[in-house]
């Protein structure tokens, strides 16, 4: 299995605190040592750092922690391989372009019979069930939107319906974003929290580290963090139910 | 304008020496301070580091220089913006997936009338003429290859023909790779060198730095480096002619 981390915020925000907790689970406090990746959106562009090495020992993860990149939408993933060996091409997040937007996808879970998913224009580069499922989603979008979508929330609601279909094939917790919207789909394990004024202090579970968000935010900031398991032990995270999904934009549920 | 750097090698090789010369031109010895990027292939996967900041001051460029990633195919680019502002989405290389391969593209030059290029399934995320030209190439590939290509060298020969068409719209020096093959297309400025045994010493032009390749290679290594302008002052680089192209695989011209 794997663990997911996502962020949606109304101001460019760094995710160093949450990411620091996550990387510990990539070989230290958790068994997810088969690679990791993180995608930051900045405007319409995005950049991805990934590594097939365990996140807890990764030089690139150290850079991400020491050089805060501010973003309104982030997706990250640490991997414990099941389908597909340990290799860069099997490392999440996966990205495809669709109507001029980078669509980013990361998955936690395992699917059966995924080889029966019919693909059209989008093909997997690696060997994971996750990337095949993503290519299937993208192909379905291509079919449904031969013209540029007028409503992107409608695109994401359609993706949520496709996620429900995939969830019938096994365990399918997923985060999907275009840099504006972030969809969190829950199969069996996904939690989220929205931080807003008045901000307080938070303590990481996986590392001795605290942050007082009131010192690094303004009263207008709204920041939602989504994670497979809560990353802090003194805040109230909300658990998503099976087949439940939330669509976020600028930190708010829409 | 911009500058290009590419590498094709028969063993995973780090490009730190050449990249160190290139980044100097990104704001220090050259004016290309509007962003930079580098894509490393590792197996079928690839990872890209990019930054809209000048390469000579970039923390991420420092990481790339201090943490050698070994690869058989690399494409890098430093940017001096003409079409499209300074932004992550306008930063090369650009990548699209085609029949399960990551196709990476970087361009040096400037095109006119590029908005008349007809696009189909591939759309630009940023505002550069370069990305539009790349999307046009990808769309043409999609048309020509409705089935998975049987011969990838034939795909690249077709891309070279498309590059010749684009070259009629202005200046179009380009590097394109799928991680196995690397195409260098010359409009007016592109040089290359193949290093093989017996290896000697090389001195960078843009920084006081030398390397004795005989100390870091084996007799079987073949490494080709392609660059807009030669990066070393004591080796014989070959200049490509206008409309000339070379296709490389594992360091050799094929």
Per-residue pLDDT of chain B (254 residues; tens, 9 = 90+): 799 999 999 999 999 999 999 999 988 888 888 999 999 999 999 999 999 989 888 999 999 998 889 999 999 999 988 888 999 999 999 999 999 999 999 999 999 999 899 999 999 999 999 999 999 999 999 999 999 999 999 999 999 999 999 999 999 999 999 999 999 999 999 999 999 999 999 999 999 999 999 999 999 999 999 999 999 999 999 999 999 999 999 999 99
Q: Cβ contact (<8 Å) for A123 and B46?
A: no
Exposure string of B3-21, with b = 16+ CB inside 10 Å and e = fewer, is: bbbbbbbbeebbbbbbbbb
Nearest to A101 among B43, B51, B125 (CB): B125
Residue B2 annotated to the active site: yes
How many beta-carbon pairs below 8 A join chains A and B?
80
The ranges assigned to domains in chain B are 2-253
CATH fold, domain B2-253, is: 3.60.20
- Residues A5-12, mean pLDDT to the nearest whole number: 98
Q: What is the pLDDT of residue B81?
A: 84
Which residues of A does the annotation mark as catalytic?
2
Do the bridges between strand A2-13 and strand B71-79 make them parallel or antiparallel, or are there none, so unpaired?
unpaired
Q: Cβ contact (<8 Å) for A88 and B49?
A: no
Phi and psi for A80 in degrees, rounded to 5? -120, 110
Measure the CA–CA gap between A166 and A158, rounded to whole angstroms: 13
Q: Cβ contact (<8 Å) for A89 and B43?
A: yes
- Residues A42-49, mean pLDDT to the nearest whole number: 95
pTM here is 0.96
Closest CA of chain B from A118, distance in Å: 14
Q: Cβ contact (<8 Å) for B44 and A96?
A: no
> How big is chain A, counted in residues?
254
Measure the CA–CA gap between A250 and B19, rounded to whole angstroms: 37
pLDDT digits (tens, 9 = 90+) for A134-161: 999 999 999 999 999 999 999 999 999 9
Sequential DSSP letters for A173-202: EEEEE-SSEEEEE-SS--EEEEEESSP-EE
- Residues A3-24, mean pLDDT to the nearest whole number: 96
Query: Which chain B residues contact residue A42 at CB under 8 A?
Result: 52, 87-88
Mutate to test the interface with B, among A12, A44, A95 (most CBs of B within 10 A): A44
pLDDT digits (tens, 9 = 90+) for A64-79: 998 889 999 999 999 9
Rg (CA), chain B: 17
Query: Which chain B residues contact residue A101 at CB under 8 A?
Result: 125
**A172 pLDDT higher than 80:** yes
């Amino acid at each position: 299995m794997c663990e997911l981390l996502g962020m949606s915020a109304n101001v460019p925000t760094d995710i160093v605190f949450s990411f620091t907790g996550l990387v510990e689970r990539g070989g230290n406090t958790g068994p997810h040592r088969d690679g990791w990746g993180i995608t930051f959106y900045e405007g319409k562009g995005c950049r991805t750092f990934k590594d097939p090495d365990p996140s807890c020992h990764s030089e690139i993860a150290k850079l991400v922690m020491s050089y805060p990149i501010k973003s309104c939408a982030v997706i990250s993933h640490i991997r414990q391989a099941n389908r597909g060996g340990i290799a860069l091409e099997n490392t999440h997040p996966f990205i495809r372009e669709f109507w001029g937007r980078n669509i980013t996808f990361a998955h936690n879970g395992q699917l059966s019979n995924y080889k029966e998913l019919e693909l059209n224009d989008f093909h997997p580069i690696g060997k994971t069930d996750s990337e095949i499922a993503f290519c299937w989603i993208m192909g379905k979008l291509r079919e449904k939107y031969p013209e540029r979508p007028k409503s992107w929330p409608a695109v994401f609601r359609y993706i949520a319906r496709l996620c429900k279909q995939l969830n019938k094939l096994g365990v399918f917790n997923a985060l999907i974003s275009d840099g504006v919207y972030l969809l969190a789909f829950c199969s069996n394990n996904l939690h989220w929290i929205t931080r807003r004024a008045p901000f307080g202090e938070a303590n990481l579970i996986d590392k001795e580290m605290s942050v007082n968000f009131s010192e690094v935010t303004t009263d207008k900031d709204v920041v939602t963090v989504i994670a497979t398991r809560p990353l802090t032990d003194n805040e109230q995270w909300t658990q998503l139910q099976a087949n439940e999904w939330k669509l976020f934009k600028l930190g708010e549920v829409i």
